[in-house]
Amino acid sequence: MRKYARLLLALVLAAALTGCGGGNGPAKVVREFSEAVKKMDYAAMNACLAEEMDLDQEEELEEEADSLMTYLKEKAAGITYEIGETKTEEDTASVTVSYTYTDASEAMGEVMKEYVSQALVLAFSGGSEEEMGQILEDLIEKKIVGAEIGQTTKEVTFQCEKTEDGWKISEMPEEIYDVVSCGILGPIMEMEEALEP
């Protein structure tokens, strides 16, 4: 299960942290970032950040979670957003964005509960890590990918800074990870924390 939590976290970080041109104003860079999120365009997202992330594992991660990545990309295309208030103070700014996105957090919570009970039985009977991984993939396929999932709206505030290359996002708000991951990362991280010794 930890492998999948790390995989999802890496995918979400990749999806949420890849570049765009600073343009002429903090709202513009946040708009460019939001458009890149909708396309899951890692390079364009990273260009919007003051500090780019290393995304060398992007292709390998996508291959390992093919059906889930297909789902996330499909849902990302349906994200809508509205740029709200921009507050600028010299070389820093905050930009508030209201995102409407698919929220599979409740379904993922159900997946994790079922997974734990099934994985425990399998572990005690000598099941392999691959078999446990297959259980998780099957549950995700049934309860998330193949299910009707509703939408929610979340307000996200981006911190921006003016650099020599123009305005960039200086700090990633945690809430963006829910938007990019359809809310599925939260329940996985909660389960990870609960299982920590």
Structural domain for 27, as ranges: 2-195
What pLDDT score does 129 carry?
A: 81
pLDDT tens digits, one per residue of 102-126: 999 999 989 888 988 888 888 788 8
Domain count, the chain: 1
pTM: 0.78
Q: What DSSP letter does each residue of 34-63 carry, written as one string?
A: HHHHHHT-HHHHHTTBSSPPP-TTHHHHHH
d(CA 78, CA 128): 37
User: Which tokens sit at 93?
Assistant: 């700014």
Most confidently modeled range among 47-61, 116-130, 140-154:
140-154
Taking the C-alpha atoms of residue 83 and residue 95, their distance in angstroms, rounded to an integer, is 7
Least Cα distance to 40 among 83, 68, 76 occurs for: 76
Higher pLDDT, 54 or 36: 36
Whole-angstrom Cα distance, residue 25 to residue 112? 42
Lowest mean pLDDT segment, chosen from 27-31, 58-62, 76-80, 188-192: 58-62
Two tokens, residue 106: 């409740």
